[in-house]
Chain A
Amino acid sequence: MKADRFITPAAWALVTVAIVTLPASRSQDLGGVISFLTGFAILVAIFAILALGLNVQWGYTGIFNFGVVAFFMVGAYTAAIITKGPATTEYVRYVGGFGDKLDFIPFLDSEQWLPFLFGTAGAAIVAGALAFVLSIPTLRLREDYLAIATIGIAELLRRIAIEEKGLVNSDRGLIGIPSPLEDLVNPPEYKFIFFGVVVGLVILILIALEAGSRSPWGRVLKAIREDETTAAAAGKDIFNFKMQSFVVGAMIMGVGGAAYAYYSRSVSPDAFTHFFGTFLIWAMLIVGGSGNNKGAILGAYIVWGFYSITGLMRAYFADWGLEFLELRMSFLRDFVVGALIVIVLLLRPAGLLPEERRVSLFMQREDKQPTPPGEPESGPTGSRADAPPDREKGSGGQAS
């Protein structure tokens, strides 16, 4: 138990030390190091938004969404076509391009941030609407069928983005997406402004989710996660609550996509692979701790930190003459992400920051470790030793 308590701070400290010392030891230029760290922090924040969205679906409600990239991508593309102007040449074809029409509120002097507000809201609404439409056929399915169906939806949407030439400029993608408030400062300093914007978004979402998870609504979601039948017996409309959770999670993912589009200023289908857009986010949530919002953020920090550190290590491998490792580094870190998912689920299924068990503010916290979604209630050695998990377990039971 004692060693257990050290893992979380140790992981945090390791990533922090490495991410600061590695660039600092190679570059004498302090400004460059700070700029790198800011870029790193921005991506952590964007991934944190996505992981928070997934936490609403999986951590709170137990919805097994394997198509995170669908909502991520839809959010990014929606934000792009709302904030960009219309296409100017015939070689670039996409729908929309509303950026130049969004200055209709004169006193807000909009150019700098009105398109950004509309883009972010639009991304959330379109991703949420997509989730709403998809929830009707898929949410009643058993959870593993839901996972397969969501993978399929993500793949289909990626295909549509590539194959429908006039929709979002096919596989060349959209470039030149404006960023919020970019004219306020010089381009080199803009990163700091954007960092503030995206951290503001994370805090806003975090506050809303914390409030939501402690409200009666959040408690119903957790009840559904623990036992759908009992929740239904208590008079809760399971499907309705699941749909709300799915839509809210998807809207948050859409906002994450919008932030990604503003930051990278270009979106193309190659960026939205299943690995990068879905499985990496899952790794973050699992490592951080499903069901815990702070865990989702910590997971984004640890996993993306690890990703960036291995990127920095490449330069060292080149110096040390380990060319094989240098060339294979990007595959090696995918390997570690996959291994991390397996190891964490085997050894520490609750993640680095396990969910806080909180029934109500008026009741004392229990010391007992809560069980992460999908895990049995009765500790490591239950009465079900060596039994194949049975089919009804945790399933909505539509098909068995």
Chain B
Amino acid sequence: VVPESTGFAELLNKARERYPAVFDNLGTAALWVLFAGLLIAALILYTNLFVVGVIFGSIIALGAIGLTLIYGIMKFAHFAHGDMMMLAAYLAFFALTGRIVGEKTEVDLGWSLDRLPGATTGLGPLSFGYGLLLAMLVALIATVALFVALDNLIYRRLRQRGSGIVIFAMVSLGIAIVARSVILILWGPEPRFYVPGIFPAHEFPFGIKLKADQIFIFATVAIAAILVYFLLFRTRIGKAMRATSDNPELARVSGIDTDQVIRWTWAIGGALVAVAGVLLAIQAQLKPELGFTILLPLFAAAILGGIGSPQGALIGAMIVGITQEVSLGVEISIAGRDILPQILPLAPGYKFAVAFVILILILLVRPQGLFGAKA
């Protein structure tokens, strides 16, 4: 007779074999419990903030998946990721409205997607019409072309020279500054919107309030994530990418064309950056400085999930997004008395600092991330 506990132990052993990363040390387990506990508490106590956090987290996820692929395959921190997101969002704005800033007033180029018949009529309950979707496609193609071109012109030369990761990171920072100043030169520092106006939120059960646009964001991210999954796990190039990420030398001697892998990585990263940028601008607005602000959550998500692991980046992004939103609304009180009234609830300005605190925590306890292989 096999006692029931053995079944559980077997299950645990199987789980340990299946997910060695999860069980390899106590600190990690504690980290998992901490995050899981936080998320469950947030879900029960602050359902609405939790849902808003999921929406925000899904935008971060798209950026973080691209970031983690670039990081995993080319082994450097791509500091231009956030600013490229914003540049893509502005390119979509340009394709949609045809407007750039002029000498004193706006210059309208006279041709743009919103002049197509019915392009700005809201799709169902959404605030925007099919014009924005076409604009997103234009931005996507432009960003992919830009990323591949930048690799050809700049990063490839650094690779040929064998520069260290720091030089790559530094160069990407220079590109980030350039991208940001291009936005400022062409569209100015004032915030912009794809569709001006305020749109009402819909009421859902459990006190959840969501705008139709936010549901669109979540759905788009879900589709993009599924596409990335198929690309990585069901295609030849995806297999080559994962092999290169695991061990570049071994991949090369096994006959994998690493140049092609790198081009594909930039292309996928660029496509994800473009979609993430447009979604971020739908959720918030178009602001030049947002590109740098979003960078910390992106890195926090990628490192939390483990560099090179897209599924890790997805989960890491959700944790970062939810923690950010919920930490602003939490008031801890015991027996009717607020504790830590000075610190919680956090001032809104600390929103993006939350990502940093998570980042430091993970770097201290488990620098390889939740899903990363042990060093």
Using A148-B359, A375-B164 as known contacts, say yes or no to A155 and B174 having CB atoms under 8 A apart: no
Closest beta carbon of chain A to B44's beta carbon, Å: 28
B162 touches A137 (CB 8 A): no
Q: Which of A148, A155, A159, A391 has the most CB of B within 10 A?
A: A148
Nearest to B166 among chain A residues (CB) is A374
A301 to chain B, nearest CB (A): 20
Q: Say yes or no for A152: interface residue by CB 8 A criterion.
A: yes
Q: B102 contacts A145, CB within 8 Å? A: no
Chain A, range 316-348, C-beta contacts under 8 Å to B: 323-324, 327-328, 331-332, 334-335, 337-342, 345-346
Interface 9-residue window, one of B9-17, B221-229, B348-356: B348-356
What 1/0 flags go to A373-400 for Cβ under 8 Å of B? 1111010111011111111011101111
Stretch at the interface among A102-110, A118-126, A274-282: A274-282
> What CA separation (Å) do A138 and B167 show in the bound complex?
20
Asked whether, in the complex, the Cβ of B375 is within 8 Å of the Cβ of A335, the reply is no
Determine whether the beta carbon of A389 is less than 8 Å from that of B164.
yes
Given contacts A141-B367, A156-B353, A388-B262, contact A380 B177 (CB under 8 A): no
Q: Tell me whether A189 is interfacial, beta carbon within 8 Å.
A: no
Assess whether B252 is interfacial by the CB under 8 Å rule. yes
Which positions 148-179 of chain A face chain B at CB distance < 8 Å?
148-149, 151-153, 155-156, 159, 162-163
Which one of A328, A335, A376 lies within 8 Å of B163 (CB-CB)?
A376
Proximity bits, B344-375, A CB within 8 Å = 1, else 0: 00010110110111011001100110001001
In the assembled complex, A237 has its CB within 8 A of some CB on chain B: no
- Binary contact readout A254-295 vs B (1 if CB under 8 angstroms, 0 otherwise): 000000000000000000001100010010001000000000
Binary contact track A130-150/B, C-beta < 8 Å → 1, others 0: 000000011001111101110
**Knowing A155-B356, A389-B162 touch, does A375 contact B349 (C-beta < 8 A)?**
no
Do the beta carbons of A389 and B185 come within 8 Å of each other? no
Q: Are A342 and B154 in contact (CB under 8 A)?
A: yes
Select B185's contact among A335, A342, A378, A394, beta carbons within 8 Å.
A335
Question: Which residues of chain B are near A147, meaning CB under 8 Å?
Answer: 77, 166, 169
Instruction: Provide the residues of chain B in CB contact with A148, threshold 8 Å.
Output: 77, 296, 299, 303, 359
Contacts A141-B367, A376-B163 known; A389 to B249 CB distance under 8 Å? no
| Contact indicator B178/A335 (Cβ below 8 Å) | yes
Binds A, one of B68-76, B86-94, B230-238, B330-338: B68-76
- B137 on the A face (CB < 8 A): no
Contact B171 A345 (CB under 8 A): yes
Does A388 contact B258, Cβ atoms closer than 8 Å? yes
Q: Report which residue of B157, B161, B179 has the largest number of chain A beta carbons within 10 angstroms of its beta carbon.
A: B161
Complex-state Cα separation, A388 to B357, whole angstroms: 31
Interface residues of B in 147-193 (CB under 8 A from A): 154, 156-171, 173-182, 184-185
Bound form: Cα–Cα A378–B76 in Å: 21
Cβ-defined contact, A346 with B356, below 8 A = no
Indicate whether B248 reaches chain A with its CB closer than 8 angstroms: yes
- CB pair B167–A341 under 8 Å, yes or no, is no
Q: Is A64 an interface residue (CB 8 A)?
A: yes
Which residue from B103, B161, B165, B171 sits with its C-beta under 8 Å from A380? B161
- Per the 8 Å Cβ criterion, residues 40-79 of A in contact with B are 62, 64, 66
Pick the residue among B157, B162, B248, B360 that contacts A152 (CB under 8 A): B360
Asked if A351 is at the interface (CB within 8 A of a chain B CB), the reply is no
C-alpha gap A161/B30 in the complex (Å): 33
The 9 residue pairs across chains A and B that have the minimum distance between CB atoms: A338-B177, A341-B174, A152-B356, A399-B367, A335-B181, A338-B178, A331-B184, A374-B164, A342-B174
Q: List 16 A-B contacts (CB under 8 A).
A: A64-B166, A64-B169, A137-B363, A142-B367, A147-B77, A148-B77, A152-B353, A159-B349, A159-B352, A286-B170, A334-B181, A334-B184, A338-B176, A342-B178, A374-B165, A376-B162
Q: A327-B103, A389-B168 are in contact. List 4 more A-B contacts (CB 8 A).
A: A141-B367, A144-B77, A144-B169, A335-B178
